[in-house]
Amino acid sequence: MDSITLEMWTSAIVLVVAYVLIFSEILHRTIAAIFGAVVMVGIGMWMGFYTQEAAILAVDGNTILLLAAMMMLVALLRPTGAFDYAAVHITHWAQGNPKLLLIYLSLAVSLISMILDNVTTVIVFAPLTVLICRLLKLNPMPYLMAEAMLSNIGGAATLVGDPPNLMIGSAADISFNSFLVHMGLPVLVVWLGTVVLMLYLFREQLSHSGEDPKTLVATHAIKDARGLKRILFALAIVVVLFFVHHNLHLLPAYASFIGLTVALLLLQPDVEKLFGTVNWSVLIFFAGLFIIVGGVESSGLLELVGHWLGHLAKDPAMLMLTGLALMWIAAILSAVVDNIPFTVTMIPVILGLESSGVNIAPLWWALALGVGLGGNGTHLGATANIIAVSESEKSGMPEARISPMLWMRTGMPVMFFGLILASMVYWLFFDMFTTA
């Protein structure tokens, strides 16, 4: 199988058209993904390379269900006031020191992003950050940018911290612990390096001390103490299950649903309202992408691409270079376009390499690092960035406004510095990355 067939060409054209519609934003990305999926299944059935059953099987249920469960858990946690409480205490601990405030807020957002969706975390923390800065008479711009960028980096450390990681982990059968062990070191190095770089880049804005942080009070932060204890208990179950899911032969999605079930039984929330908080548009977008890429895979094209690339990566000496190239290409593409379609497309290509006798483990980690770090380059690179920009505009403070150019002036150095650090770790500890 060395030549491209008509079926392969057709599926590739449908994929390209769907991606052009997604990236150009001619259509909403979910509508474009549904359109692409429907066309792919229709043409695939007509030409005989894809079936409805294969399309349904192409959807990674583990990814979709885990995201849905985590969205509901966050929706249950948010109204309890836990995030507000954390933000007020962080402000008090920083004692008006702008540099400490940046480190503490970014650390909190990064740690939360390792378990919960980083977009939701930034949605909750961004307005609190502007309020804190307003009260302390500080410019919120560096804080908003730092929170978004460092949450993107923090989320890259775990299986559940970022949707691409989840897709990679699900396809490659990588456990939560393995993800943390392999990604923990590079992410920690990149996180620390980024904090130092940001303190330098924002040295002017962070040079003036803030007002007395006592203008913020935590007294009314917790709105539902009983509910908070219960949801934290459910989340603790989820986190513990994530650490042992591989030993218990549980899928991460099932582990999260066990925690969700506990939360639902303990809290008994308004179910209609709760289900309304699930971001169905994102989930359907992911499902559409899985179906589109499933069609290309069924046509045999991705296997062929994997076969071609296999010649290159089969040489052990070239494997590290292939991994580094993948990391940088993934990062640069993720800076300008949505990293999810790229990840979904690359997964079957990498899986195809395995059949050519290539050790694909280093490629998974390279892909995860690339898509995780690349989002910081531009304001469009990650949803968390867009939220930070939007919040800076809503603040009404001219000095806080984050323009696309301003983002790039900070984001590009952050992205390239992070990639250099990650590449060094990847190179120095390459043996560690050769196992999944």
The label of the residue with tokens 């969205």 reads 71
| Single-letter residue type at 96 | G
* Part of the chain binding another protein (CB under 8 A), chosen from 27-35, 44-52, 213-221, 354-362: 213-221
176 Cβ neighbours under 8 A, 6+ residues apart: 158, 159, 160, 169, 242, 243, 245, 246, 252
Minimum CB distance to another protein smaller for 79 or for 184? 79
Which member of 21, 69, 75, 88 binds another protein (CB under 8 A)? 88
Q: Tokens 């949801």 sit at which residue?
A: 231
| Closest alpha carbon to 414 in 64, 63, 142 | 142
Candidates 395, 425, 426, 433: give the one binding another protein (CB under 8 A): 395
Burial-class residue 24 by CB neighbours within 10 Å (0-12, 13-18, 19+). exposed
Rank residues 316 and 396 by Cβ distance to another protein and give the closer one: 396
Question: Which one, of 408, 382, 389, 313, lies nearest residue 351 by Cα?
Answer: 313
Smaller CB separation from another protein, 338 or 391:
391
Query: Which CA distances in Å does 161 have to 7, 111, 171, 184, 238?
Result: 36, 9, 16, 12, 13
- Specify the residue, 37 or 130, whose C-beta has the smaller distance to another protein: 130
220 binds another protein (CB under 8 A): yes
* Beta carbon of residue 410, minimum distance to another protein (angstroms, whole number): 22
Q: How far apart are CA 230 and CA 37, in angstroms?
A: 40
Q: Find all residues with CB under 8 Å of 156, minimum gap 6, and list them.
A: 162, 165, 183, 187, 368, 369, 372, 373
Tokens linked to 434:
């050769």
Q: How far apart are CA 120 and CA 126, in angstroms?
A: 10
Told to check if 399 binds another protein by CB under 8 A, we report: no
| From candidates 6, 95, 208, 211, binder to another protein by CB under 8 A | 211
Neighbours of 405 (CB within 10 A): 9
> What's the distance, CA 210 to chain centroid?
32
- Number of residues this chain uses to bind another protein (CB under 8 A): 25
386 forms part of the interface with another protein (CB under 8 A): no
Q: How many residues does the chain have?
A: 436
Tell the smallest beta-carbon distance from residue 127 to another protein (Å).
Answer: 4
- Which of 229, 394, 401, 409 is the binder for another protein (CB under 8 A)? 394
CB of 129 to another protein, least distance (A): 8
Nearer to another protein, 21 or 88 (CB): 88
Question: From CA 174, how far away is CA 242, in angstroms rounded?
Answer: 12
By CB under 8 A, residue 347 contacts another protein:
no
Q: Which of residues 124-163 bind another protein (CB under 8 A)?
A: 127-128, 130-131, 134-135, 137
Binding mask of the shown chain, residues 47 to 86, with x at each position contacting another protein by CB under 8 A: -------------------------------------x--
Q: How far is the CB of 109 from another protein (least distance, A)?
A: 16
Binding stretches for another protein (CB under 8 A) = 84, 87-88, 127-128, 130-131, 134-135, 137, 211-212, 214-218, 220-221, 223, 391, 394-397
